[in-house]
Structure 1
Amino acid sequence: MTIMQSEEFETVAETEVDSRGRVSLGRAGAKPGRRYRVESNPDGVLLLTPVVSIPEREMQVWTDPLLAERIRAGIEQAQRGETVDLGDFSKYLDPEDEDED
């Protein structure tokens, strides 16, 4: 991982690493639940970049523009009420396929 040297940083807070290696970022404006990619350089400079993580099984939607368009078209059809009720499909569920929440 590389840190771009051309970017300028502004000091927004000073904090101390606790006994468990944690650093509080609240004073720096970090929001609870937000995820960050952490990069470091040989001098020990850490760069935190906000990221959004998606499940691997959803990655195809983000990498296949045709699939993404088909999904958007289906959502638009549903919003216009252009749907057909095909009944209950729960009998086809495999308990191993259910999401873990």
Structure 2
Amino acid sequence: MTTVHEREEFETVAETEVDSRGRVSLGRAGAKPGRRYRVESNPDGVLLLTPVVSIPEREMQVWTDPLLAERIRAGIEQAQRGETADLGDFSKYLDQEDGED
């Protein structure tokens, strides 16, 4: 994946060294434990780290379908207002794969 970035100003916040396993500590640069980053490089060896949030592929449809996302938001709002209906016990469907009837 190749992306083009507008010229941005960067500030030096730390200097670190790659260890024998190819790792770099980013704690002094403000990185938080557990945070994910997309890593991009250019021909000069400059690395650009961009914070990202990974989501499961099965949830991607919610992010790409605005109508579906709105329906989900509306359903959450209805539930918060107590506008729900008990449809019974669905445990009999626990062993079914998605798409099975």
TM-score by length of 2: 0.89
Alpha-carbon deviations, 1:29-74, whole Å to 9, x = none?
Answer: 0000100000000000000000011111001000111100000000
User: Alpha carbons of 1:28 and 1:57: their partners in 2 closer, same or farther (altered >3 Å)?
Assistant: same
Aligned match of 2:100: 100
Q: Could you list the structure 1 runs, at least 4 aligned residues long, displaced by more than 4 angstroms after superposition.
A: none
Q: Percent identity?
A: 93
* Gap regions ≥5 residues in structure 1: none
For residues 5-44 of structure 1, the C-alpha deviation after alignment (integer angstroms, 9 at most, x for no partner) is 5111110000000010000000000000100000000000
Q: Structure 2: 5+ residue runs without aligned partners?
A: none
Bigger shift: 2-11 or 51-60?
Answer: 2-11
What RMSD in Å do the two structures reach over aligned CA positions? 3.7
- Would the aligned equivalents of 1:3 and 1:47 in 2 still touch at CA under 8 Å? no
State the distance in 1 between where 2:6 and 2:100 align: 42
Task: Note the C-alpha offset of 1:85.
Answer: 1.1
Question: How far apart are residue 91 of structure 1 and its match?
Answer: 1.1
Which structure would you say has the larger RCO, counting Cα contacts within 8 Å and 6 or more residues apart?
Answer: 1
Distance (whole Å) between structure 2 residues aligned to residue 19 and residue 41 of structure 1: 23
Change in CA separation of 1:78 and 1:5 when aligned onto 2, cut-off 3 Å: closer
Q: How many residues are aligned here?
A: 99
67 and 100 in structure 1: CA distance in 2 versus 1, 3 angstrom threshold: closer
